[in-house]
Amino acid sequence: MSIIRFLKITLVFASLLVLPIGSFWLGWRVNEVWRTSRDCRSECRLSQIRLALLLYHQEHGAFPPTKYQAKPGGPIHSWRVLLLPYTTLDYRERYSSYDFSQEWNSPSNLQALGGMPFFGYFNMNGDNDIAHYLAIGDEDDWPSRKPLRSFLVTKGKDRFLLVEYPESNIHWMEPRY
């Protein structure tokens, strides 16, 4: 009987000690893998935007303005819209139907570019309407008091600062940041 009692006590002790420690260790490892995955996704998206910026620069001789106005007094458009021809074939085809003489959120512009999957260009979590990658220009305030991941793209003397802002609620076509 004493051996069975000893085994029961050992089993209870192991359960009380090993299970919590094992659970803690496993949870820590899963969290570490999740953070690494998120960081890799973020780096990949920043690299994709960087490539589009460099292609834009190669064609136009400068990075896009953070806020674009086709003609003085006209509507303002986002730098993200200007990068679309340098992203995916689907966006290149639909970009030609975007009308810079209308507001960014006009029904025809939203129809032209709305509902397209991002393929990871301007957001972090698949929400097609929200931009989590912003560009900070000279006239812009920093969007958050929290430290943000940023990436400076340079070509010659030109500079373009990309910022990852997870708490953003800015529509990707909106001409802010």
Domain boundaries, the chain: 47-164
Residues 91-106: tens digit of each pLDDT = 777 888 899 999 999 9
Contact assessment for residue 49 and residue 83, using Cβ atoms and an 8 Å cutoff: yes
The β-bridge relationship of strands 76-78 and 149-155 is: unpaired
- Tabulate helix, strand, coil % of the chain (nearest 5): 45, 15, 40
Residues 52-110: tens digit of each pLDDT = 889 998 999 988 888 899 889 899 999 989 998 898 777 777 888 899 999 999 998 88
CA dihedral 159, 80, 53, 44 (to 10 degrees): 110
What is the rounded distance in angstroms from the CA atom of residue 52 to the CA atom of residue 34? Answer: 27
pTM of the model: 0.73
The β-bridge relationship of strands 133-135 and 76-78 is: unpaired
